[in-house]
Amino acid sequence: MRSFRFEPRFVRRAVDAILGKDKDYQPSPERMRNEYLVRFLLLFLPILLALVVFDYIRAEQPLSFHRLIAFIMVISCLAALKAGRFSLAIDILFFGVIISSILGFALDFYLTGTTATTLESISLIELTLFATISFIGLYSGSRFRVDLMFALALIFDLSGYFLPYGTAFGSITARVIIIALHASAYGFGLFLVAYFDSLSRTAESRRLMNQRLEVLVNEANEGGIARLESLSHDIRSPITGILGVHALLSETKLDQEQRQYLDILGKSNKLLLEIVESILDDPEKPDVPEWDRTALIRLFGSALAPYRAAARAKGVVFRQRIVGAHCKLPLSRSNLLRILGNLADNALKYTDSGSISFSCVIKPEQVIISVMDTGRGMDADRLHAVRSGEAEPDPDIPGSRGIGLSGVKRMVEVAGGAFDVRSQSGQGTKVTLSFPS
C-alpha cells in the first residue's frame, strides 16, 4: 500500500522528498491522498513541459499561454506541498489553473477574435472545469471550494451566450449540455467531500479508540492481571463488532481507492485484535496449555465470532465439532486464536456458498484440528505454493490479509505440529493441523 507495485524507485524518492518520508507502519488516508496527487503532478509535469517546448518551436499555437501558466502552477503547487502548505497548494493547482486559463482565453479572444481560437480555448477550459469541480472536494475537503468552483464554471458557461456566435442553436444546445455536465461534476464533488469527511472521522475514531485502549491497558497493568482479565470482554466486543461491519462492507460495491482504504482498516482492526488477545493472555499459563472440551468450544467461538456476520451475508454456514474431553496444545491462546481466525478468514474468502466445517478431534497421543470448506478450491500451482510455504496473498481475492496459510504453516511447524492442505479447483479445500498431545 505504500507505493505502486511497479513504481520506479526515483518516483518513490521524489514523493518522499516533497512530502517527507512517512515513518508510520500504515499510511493515513491523508498521506495516501497526498501521494497520489504528487505522483500525478510528477507524471503531468514533463508532458506539460514537452507541450510548452513544442508550442515554442511551432510559434503559432493559440494555447501556448494556457500551457505555460499550467506548467508554472504545477511547479508552484509542488513547492507549496514541499513547504507543508497543503491548502495553498490545492488552491494554486485548482483555482490558479482555471483563473489563468480564463484570463488567457479572454486575452486570446480580445487579440484575435477568431472563432477557431475561441472554440479551442473554450473546449480546454470546459474540460478543465469539469475535472476541477469533480476533484477539488477530495483534495480540499471543503464544500465552500466546490461551491466556488461550480459558481465560477456557471459564470464561464453563461458568458458564452454573449460571444458573437453564442446565439446559434448549436451553441445554445452545447452550452446547456456543458452546464448539465458541470452540475453532475458538482454532485460528484460534494459526494467526495462527504466521503472523505466520513473517512477522516473513521480514522479519528480509530485514533481515539487506540488512545482509550492504551489508557485501559495502562490502568489494568497498574491494577494487576486480575483487573486486566476483567476488562477483556469489554475490549474484545467493540473490536469484534468493527470486524463484523468491515466484513459486511467489503461485500458491497466499492471502487479501487475505497477498497484500499477498507483493506487498511481491516488489517488495522485484525492486528489490534491480535495484540489485545496476546496482551490478555494469562502470563502464568504453562508453555503447554491444557484444554478441556468447554474451553475449546469457547476458544473456537472467540476465533470465529468476527467472521460470522460475513458468513451470514454470503449464505455460508459455519459448522463446529469438538470430539474428546481433554488435551494439551503447544501453543498459547493468542496464537491458537490467530491460527483459527486466519483459517476461517481464508476459507470464507474462497467460499461463496455452502458451508465451512471446523473440527477438533482429541486422540490419546494426538490432537487434529481441521477446517474444510465447499468453496472454489485451489489449482495445482497454488496448492504447491501453499504446501511449500511460499504462497503470496492471492491477487484475485480482494482484501487478502492476515498471515495466510503460509503463516499458519510456519506457526504450526515452529510449535512442533504438522500442516497439511488438500484441495482441487472447484471442489473445496481441507486444511489439517496435527499436534502431539
Does 223 reside within a domain?
no
Q: Exposed (0-12), middle (13-18) or buried (19+): which is 320, by Cβ within 10 Å?
A: middle
pLDDT in tens, 264-280: 677 667 656 666 666 55
Answer yes or no: do 60 and 191 share one domain. Answer: yes
Instruction: Tell me the C-alpha to C-alpha distance, in Å, between residue 378 and each of 5, 69, 292, 311, 381.
Output: 24, 55, 34, 20, 8
Asked whether residue 218 is assigned to any structural domain, the reply reads no
For residue 123, pLDDT beyond 80: no
- Is the distance from CB of 358 to CB of 304 less than 8 angstroms? yes
- CA distances 11 to 16, 19, 25, 27, 71, Å, are 9, 12, 20, 17, 19
Whether the per-residue pLDDT at 236 is higher than 70: the answer is no
Single-letter amino acid, residue 69 = I
The answer as to whether 216 is a domain residue is no
Its domain, for residue 415, covers 284-436
Each residue's pLDDT tens digit, 59-95: 655 556 667 777 888 888 888 888 888 888 888 888 8
Query: Of all helices (H) and strands (E), which one includes residue 109?
Result: helix 97-111
Give the separation between CA 360 and CA 320, rounded to whole angstroms.
8
Same-domain status, 191 and 315: no
Q: Give the count of beta carbons closer than 10 Å to the beta carbon of residue 66.
A: 25
Q: Are residues 175 and 299 in the same domain?
A: no
Domain boundary among 196, 222, 241: 196
Residue 107 located in a structural domain: yes
Greater pLDDT, 40 or 231 = 40
Shared-domain flag, residues 186 and 291: no
Average pLDDT over residues 278-297: 67
User: Which residue has 482479565 as its cell numbers?
Assistant: 229
Which of 176, 196, 216 is where one domain is finished?
196
Q: What is the mean pLDDT of residues 407-414?
A: 88
Same-domain status, 172 and 51: yes
Say what the pLDDT of residue 63 is.
57
Residues 180 and 300 occupy one common structural domain: no
Q: How many domains does the chain have?
A: 2
In a domain, 208, yes or no: no
Asked whether residue 290 falls in the same domain as residue 427, the answer is yes
Is position 241 within any domain?
no
Write the burial class of residue 367 (CB in 10 Å: 0-12 exposed, 13-18 middle, 19+ buried).
buried
**Domain termination residue (choose one: 170, 196, 222):** 196
Are residues 291 and 191 part of one domain? Answer: no
- Answer yes or no: do 323 and 429 share one domain: yes
pTM of the shown model = 0.41
Q: Which of 69, 187, 45, 189 is nearest to 121 (CA)?
A: 69
Instruction: Say if 176 falls within a structural domain.
Output: yes
Residue 174: pLDDT band with limits 50, 70, 90: confident
Q: Is residue 232 part of a domain?
A: no
Cell of 149: 468552483
Domain of 366, CATH number, reads 3.30.565.10
Are residue 174 and residue 292 in the same domain, yes or no? Answer: no
